[in-house]
């Protein structure tokens, strides 16, 4: 699998319209680096815990002295690569970020593509929609906020308008900005 590039799609589960990113990564990309790519490409702030899941097995970074670590259905993913979980076209894993808000991302292996020497990997090919703000109550809270912001007469309209960053645009996405951040 050396010199193989994975085209993956990351979809924020429950988002309507769909919030997604299409990314090119090496097949031997470490899982921890995939976590960082998801954070950057989606627009998260990396301020909460995360885990990957496939076939009811959870892949978590085990920390030294973790008194809550339970070996059942959990694997320390230190040293694992993306190709350990995504092995063939159409394979899927789940990435969960922020166990309180429970942001779930479905990650699909769309294509195996040839290495392009002109591209620096990872590389964001495309995407749609802005990342929801952190700590807004998960996808259901975000959808509720977006519905309220469509109705200036709603009693919480001003509260949410003030709470969101002034420049927040739910439809905004710029792959060039994502690629710049991926390579900083």
Domain residue limits, the chain: 4-131+172-182
At the topology level of CATH, where does 4-131+172-182 sit? 3.10.290
**pLDDT at position 164 over 90:** yes
Q: What is the mean pLDDT of residues 154-162?
A: 95
Q: What is the mean pLDDT of residues 153-170?
A: 94
Q: What is the mean pLDDT of residues 32-52?
A: 97
**What DSSP letter does each residue of the chain carry, written as one string?**
-TTEEEEEEEEETT-SSPPEEEEEEETT-BHHHHHHHHHHHHT----S-EEEEETTEEEE-PPTT-TT---TTEEE-TT-BHHHH--STT-EEEEEE-TTTTEEEEEEEEEEEE--TTPPSSEEEEEESPPPPTTS-HHHHHHHHHHHHT-TTSTTHHHHHHHS-TT--TT---HHHHHHHHT-
Mean pLDDT of the chain: 94
| pLDDT value of position 12 | 99
Q: What is the mean pLDDT of residues 136-144?
A: 97
| pLDDT value of position 68 | 64
Q: Confidence band (pLDDT; 50, 70, 90) for 165?
A: confident
Share of the chain above pLDDT 70, in %: 94
Distance, in Å, from the CA atom of 127 to the CA atom of 86, rounded to the nearest integer, reads 21
């Amino acid at each position: 699998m050396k010199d193989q590039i994975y085209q993956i799609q990351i979809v924020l589960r429950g988002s309507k319209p769909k919030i997604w990113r299409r990314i090119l990564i090496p097949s031997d990309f470490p899982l921890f680096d995939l976590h960082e790519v998801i954070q950057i490409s989606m627009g998260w702030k990396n301020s909460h815990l995360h885990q990957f899941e496939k076939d009811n097995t959870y892949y978590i970074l085990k920390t030294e002295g973790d008194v809550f670590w339970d070996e059942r259905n959990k694997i320390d993913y230190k040293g694992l690569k993306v190709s350990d979980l995504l092995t063939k076209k159409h394979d899927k894993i789940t990435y969960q970020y922020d166990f309180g808000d429970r942001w779930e991302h479905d990650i699909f292996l769309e294509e195996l593509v040839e290495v392009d020497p002109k591209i620096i990997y990872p590389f964001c090919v495309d995407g749609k929609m802005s990342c929801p703000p952190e700590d807004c109550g998960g996808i259901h809270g975000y959808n509720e906020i977006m519905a309220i912001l469509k109705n200036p007469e709603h009693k919480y309209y001003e509260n949410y308008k003030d709470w969101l960053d002034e420049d927040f645009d739910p439809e905004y996405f710029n792959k060039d900005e994502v690629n710049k951040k991926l390579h900083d």
